[in-house]
Amino acid sequence: MGKFHDSFDRMIKGEVEQPPIMKLIGMRVVSYDKSGASRFEMDADERHWNPMGTLHGGVLCDLADAAMGFAFASTLEEGESFTTLELKINYLRPVRKAHLTAGARVVSRGRTVGLVECEVRDESNKLIARATSTCMVLRGEAAAGR
C-alpha cells in the first residue's frame, strides 16, 4: 500500500488537516478509491468570482487538479511519487454560486505515465467542466525530491 493511503483516510475523517491550498479555496476530499478514483466537493460563491462575476476558471482547474491528483496518488506504491506533465480543462458553462463535485478516475496507469480524467458537476448534476491530466511516476531520488 502506498504512503498516501493512511493520510488520505485520516484527512477524510478530519484527523489531519487538508493541504493549505484546499483550505484556501474551500474544497474538501470526500472519498477516494485505491484503484484510482476520488471525489472532491466545494461551495463556490462570490469570493471565487472573476471580474465578470462568475467563478474564476483557475478555481475550477484547482478543484479538478486536486481530485485528479488524489486519484492518481492512490495508485502509487511505497517509494513512488508523481508529477503532472500536462493538464487540460474545458469549461462548459459559467458558475456563480453552486455546490460543485469533482469526480476523477485514472483511465490508464502504466509503469511511468498515467492518464486521469475529471468531471466537475453542480448540484443539478449539470456538467460544468471536464479535465484531463497526464502524470509521470517518480521513483528513487526523483521521488524524494532530489
Give pLDDT, residue 142: 78
Mean pLDDT taken over the chain: 92
- The DSSP call for residue 111 is S
Question: Where do we find the cell 483557475?
Answer: 58
SS3 for 43-60 is: EECHHHECCCCCECHHHH
Separation of alpha carbons 81 and 102, rounded Å:
22
pLDDT for 28 beyond 80: yes
What's the rounded Cα separation, in Å, for the pair 28 and 137? 24
The answer to whether the CB of 118 falls within 8 A of the CB of 130 is: yes
CATH superfamily of 4-143: Hotdog Thioesterase (3.10.129.10)
pLDDT digits (tens, 9 = 90+) for 45-59: 999 999 999 999 999
Domain ranges of the chain: 4-143
Asked if the model's pLDDT at residue 18 lies above 50, the reply is yes
d(CA 124, CA 37): 22
- Dihedral in degrees, nearest 10, Cα atoms 41, 42, 44, 45: 150
Give the Cα separation of 116 and 95 in Å (integer): 24
For the entire predicted model, the pTM comes to 0.91
pLDDT at residue 64 is higher than 80:
yes
